[in-house]
């Protein structure tokens, strides 16, 4: 019988579980909702439900018995929000000879670089840069949350857009097409009204972050204020990458990759690539594999197997 290995990407927007056999073939996979926080009153039950559904569905597709906890040779789970409050709960759901619970930046790095030395910059709702060098030393920059950090992330881009609209409203900022766009999207009459609307419960952080797509659209139509916001976000993300690189590399070429919805903006991505390549010996390119594949790769490594998950049609591995 084959041994099976589990990799999980537990994120703020979705959870993806991938099961591979001892030859690197993807045997099963599944996706479910977010599982990033367990601290709230309903958080623990939600976390267990989402993780249970995701792993059970993946196990069923892999042909593993689902009447009891699936048995894995090794498992690696990367968790948004950190692993500390989730490891004990995961032991209730997953039976593995060796199980590693880590942060989502590490599995994103492993997927982006296929486990080779390099740096990955993640920019979705928030932002963080993480890297490892040839000696196995690691470093990070950013990832401190939307109040104290997350520079260049989607929420920060949306916040900068609202600030630009507020400056125009008060008469000390230039006119920008962001102002009517934000008013229309929030159903408000002016920037001040929009500000109060975005503080309301019906506009949680993830929904506010979606406004970053509007900033990109308006920038692509030639609005200089929106363009400056995206270029500023690119600079912040490049600074995070440079910080990690300087912590880990005194010499030699460092590969820098990126992942996350913010990089769908061509304006931001082109500026980020330009700035990233200015920092010493560096090469920049898109991620080679997904974070879920990175988690599975790390599960193989925990078991001492130098395998790469094989691509499977229908999922990004």
Angle between helices 266-277 and 212-220 (to 10 degrees): 90
pLDDT number for residue 75: 92
pLDDT number for residue 42: 64
Q: 204: burial class by Cβ within 10 Å (0-12, 13-18, 19+)?
A: exposed
Question: What whole-number distance in Å separates Cα of residue 315 and Cα of residue 317?
Answer: 6
- 83 vs 40, which has greater pLDDT? 83
Question: What whole-number distance in Å separates Cα of residue 231 and Cα of residue 186?
Answer: 24
Mean pLDDT in residue range 227-233: 97
Q: How confident is the model at residue 36 (pLDDT cuts 50, 70, 90)?
A: low
Fold of 115-287: Nucleotidyltransferase; domain 5 (3.30.420)
**Under a CB-based contact definition with an 8 Å cutoff, are residues 16 and 111 in contact?**
no
Mean pLDDT in residue range 15-43: 79
pLDDT number for residue 206: 84
CATH 3.30.420.40 positions along the chain are 4-104+289-302, 115-287
Question: What whole-number distance in Å separates Cα of residue 77 and Cα of residue 305?
Answer: 17
Q: Calculate ∠ Cα 30-207-184, nearest 5°.
A: 135
Question: Can you tell me which residue has the tokens 């880990």?
Answer: 248
Sign of CA dihedral 246, 247, 249, 255: negative
pLDDT number for residue 219: 96
Question: What whole-number distance in Å separates Cα of residue 298 and Cα of residue 105?
Answer: 13
pLDDT number for residue 85: 73
Average pLDDT, the chain: 87
Is residue 237 pLDDT above 80, yes or no? yes
**Under a CB-based contact definition with an 8 Å cutoff, are residues 10 and 294 in contact?**
no
Residue 204 makes CB contacts below 8 A (sequence gap 6+) with none
pLDDT number for residue 255: 87
Mean pLDDT in residue range 14-41: 80
Question: What whole-number distance in Å separates Cα of residue 101 and Cα of residue 216?
Answer: 35
> Of the ranges 7-11, 92-96, 137-141, which is most confident?
137-141
Is residue 143 pLDDT above 90, yes or no? no
Question: What whole-number distance in Å separates Cα of residue 155 and Cα of residue 211?
Answer: 8
Strands 95-103 and 118-123: unpaired
Is residue 40 pLDDT above 60, yes or no? no
Mean pLDDT in residue range 92-119: 90
Query: Which of 74-88, 118-132, 283-297 has the lowest average pLDDT?
Result: 74-88
**Under a CB-based contact definition with an 8 Å cutoff, are residues 237 and 127 in contact?**
yes
Q: How far is CA 280 from the centre of its chain?
A: 26
Fold of 4-104+289-302: Nucleotidyltransferase; domain 5 (3.30.420)
**H or E segment at 194?**
helix 191-198
Question: What whole-number distance in Å separates Cα of residue 204 and Cα of residue 47?
Answer: 19
Backbone angles phi, psi at 120, to 5 degrees: -120, 135
Tokens of 71: 């048995």
What predicted TM-score, i.e. pTM, was given to this entire model?
0.87
pLDDT number for residue 276: 85
């Amino acid at each position: 019988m084959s041994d099976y290995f589990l990799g999980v990407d537990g994120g703020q927007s979705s959870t993806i579980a991938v099961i591979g056999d001892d030859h690197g073939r993807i045997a099963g996979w599944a996706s479910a909702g977010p599982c990033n926080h367990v601290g709230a009153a309903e958080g623990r039950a939600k976390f267990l439900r989402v993780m249970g559904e995701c792993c059970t569905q993946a196990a069923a597709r892999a042909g593993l018995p689902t009447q009891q906890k699936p048995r894995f040779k090794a498992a690696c789970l990367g968790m948004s929000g950190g692993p500390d409050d989730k490891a004990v709960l995961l032991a209730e759901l997953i039976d593995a000879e060796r199980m590693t619970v880590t942060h989502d930046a590490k599995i994103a790095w492993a997927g982006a670089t296929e486990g080779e030395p390099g740096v990955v910059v993640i920019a979705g709702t928030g932002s963080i840069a993480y890297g490892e060098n040839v000696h196995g030393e690691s470093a990070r920059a950013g990832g401190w949350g939307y109040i104290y950090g997350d520079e260049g992330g989607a929420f920060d881009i949306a916040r900068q857009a609202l600030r630009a609209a507020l400056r125009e409203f008060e008469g000390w900022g230039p006119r920008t097409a962001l102002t009517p766009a934000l008013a229309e999207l929030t159903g408000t009459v002016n920037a001040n009204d929009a500000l109060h609307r975005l503080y309301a419960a019906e506009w949680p952080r993830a929904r506010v972050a979606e406004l970053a797509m509007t900033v990109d659209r308006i920038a692509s139509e030639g609005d200089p204020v929106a363009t400056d916001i995206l270029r500023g976000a690119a600079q912040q993300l490049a600074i995070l990458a440079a910080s990690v690189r300087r912590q880990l590399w005194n010499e030699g070429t460092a590969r820098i990759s990126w992942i996350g919805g913010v990089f769908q903006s061509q304006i931001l991505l082109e500026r980020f690539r330009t700035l990233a390549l200015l920092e010493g010996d560096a090469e920049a390119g898109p991620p080679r594999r997904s974070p879920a594949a990175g988690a599975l790769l790390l599960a193989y490594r925990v078991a001492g197997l130098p395998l790469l998950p094989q691509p499977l049609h229908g999922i990004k591995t």
